[in-house]
């Protein structure tokens, strides 16, 4: 019976995603960046909904509303002072990016800019590694799909083994040149 309980406990632990121990607990007062968004913004919402939710104009440079697949990236200042980048295609929010301007923004598993490759791999299961498109190895991307090729996170890892950017959203997380 003990062996069964130990085996079930080990299986449950191996299936969990958890905070990397070297990073401590995530600051819950700061909204987490998830594949669904960053409160109050949700991937899939319209530009009008994003403006209302954020209280920000989100119009510099102008977004071409009503133009299918027109793409624009907009800065968004969070309540804690971080700056995220919102990607709109047409009038839909499709991706949110945290970079150097967002040092406090973390995922639910407490991974963000400055985390190590090992911390990403410890925090997530099913990590897919791909070569960086423009930076030579050892730079690379780590991709985690919540729903295969539809919803996930991409961590850009630099040559020093640190996360430089985190992209959250739909398949647009794979874009490497902003809107391309």
pLDDT in tens, the chain (180 residues): 444 344 434 433 333 343 444 566 778 888 999 999 999 999 999 988 999 999 998 875 556 656 666 788 989 999 889 999 999 988 899 999 999 999 999 999 999 999 999 999 999 999 999 999 999 999 999 999 999 999 999 999 999 999 999 999 999 999 998 886
Residue of 137, 134, 145, 103 lying closest to 117 (CA atoms): 137
For 76, 80, 121, 171, the CA distances from 84, given in Å and listed in that order, are: 5, 11, 23, 18
Residue with tokens 């729903």: 147
Rounded to two decimals, the pTM is 0.83
Tally of structural domains, the chain: 1
Task: Indicate whether 101 belongs to any domain.
Answer: yes
Task: Indicate whether 179 belongs to any domain.
Answer: no
Task: Indicate whether 8 belongs to any domain.
Answer: no
Task: Indicate whether 18 belongs to any domain.
Answer: no
Kindly report the number of other CB atoms within 10 A of residue 160's CB atom. Answer: 10
Task: Indicate whether 180 belongs to any domain.
Answer: no
Which residue range(s) make up the domain with 83? 29-174
Residue of 109, 48, 113 lying closest to 84 (CA atoms): 113
């Amino acid at each position: 019976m003990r062996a069964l309980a130990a085996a079930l406990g080990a299986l449950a632990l191996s299936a969990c995603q958890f905070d990397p121990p070297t990073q401590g607990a995530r600051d819950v007062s700061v909204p987490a960046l998830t594949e669904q968004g960053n409160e109050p913004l949700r991937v899939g919402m319209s530009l009008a909904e994003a403006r209302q939710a954020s209280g920000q104009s989100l119009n510099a440079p102008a977004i071409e509303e009503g133009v299918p697949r027109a793409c624009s990236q907009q800065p968004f200042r969070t309540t804690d002072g971080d700056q995220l980048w919102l990607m709109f295609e047409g009038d839909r929010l499709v991706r949110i990016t945290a970079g150097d301007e967002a040092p406090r923004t973390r995922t639910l598993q407490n991974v963000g800019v400055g985390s190590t490759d090992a911390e990403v791999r410890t925090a997530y299961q099913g990590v897919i590694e791909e070569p960086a498109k423009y930076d030579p190895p050892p730079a690379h991307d780590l991709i985690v799909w919540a729903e295969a090729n539809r919803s996930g996170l991409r961590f850009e890892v630099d040559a020093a083994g640190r996360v430089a950017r985190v992209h959250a959203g739909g398949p647009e997380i794979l874009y490497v040149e902003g809107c391309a």
